[in-house]
């Protein structure tokens, strides 16, 4: 199941990839203390001009099955419920229900 939030996240990921190199260059300029303040300021302004979907912080790991944004188990990229369903179905190698 994909929902609009997943599609938005995919768009953000694509944007980050597309703008990453240029953004890094501006970031390095803006943070470089050996450069002229004027240049650093200009670089910072350029950084602000990038769209929303170019910042890596916009990207959020969502459940790859249900699209849920909370309760994600990072190692599998699944929400806690999808994880449970998959694990109980035996589709996650090495994962089994604890019992003692």
Partner 1 sequence: MASLKTKLQQLTKLQCALFETSYNPTSARTGAKYLRARLRGPAMVRYYPQRIPIQLVRAVAWDMNIVDSREEQRVDDVVDLKKRGKGAPKKKKEKAEEKGKKGGGKKK
Binding site for partner 1 (CB under 8 A): 2, 6, 9-10, 13-14, 16-18, 20-21, 24-25, 27-34, 51-53, 56, 59, 61, 64, 77
Distances (CA, A) of 9 to 62, 70, 84, 96: 8, 14, 24, 31
Q: Which is nearer to partner 1, 56 or 96 (CB)?
A: 56
Which residues are registered as beta bridge partners of 79? 72
Helix (H) or strand (E) holding 72: strand 72-73
Q: Which is nearer to partner 1, 16 or 87 (CB)?
A: 16
Q: Which is nearer to partner 1, 47 or 87 (CB)?
A: 47
């Amino acid at each position: 199941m994909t929902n609009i939030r997943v599609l938005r996240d995919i768009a953000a990921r694509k944007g980050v990839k597309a703008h990453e190199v240029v953004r890094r260059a501006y970031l390095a300029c803006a943070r470089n203390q050996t450069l002229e303040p004027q240049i650093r300021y200009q670089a910072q302004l350029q950084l602000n001009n990038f769209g929303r979907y170019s910042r890596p912080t916009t990207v959020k790991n969502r459940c790859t099955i249900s699209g849920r944004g909370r309760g994600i188990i990072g190692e599998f990229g699944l929400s806690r419920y999808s994880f449970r369903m998959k694990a109980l179905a035996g589709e996650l190698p090495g994962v089994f229900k604890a019992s003692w």
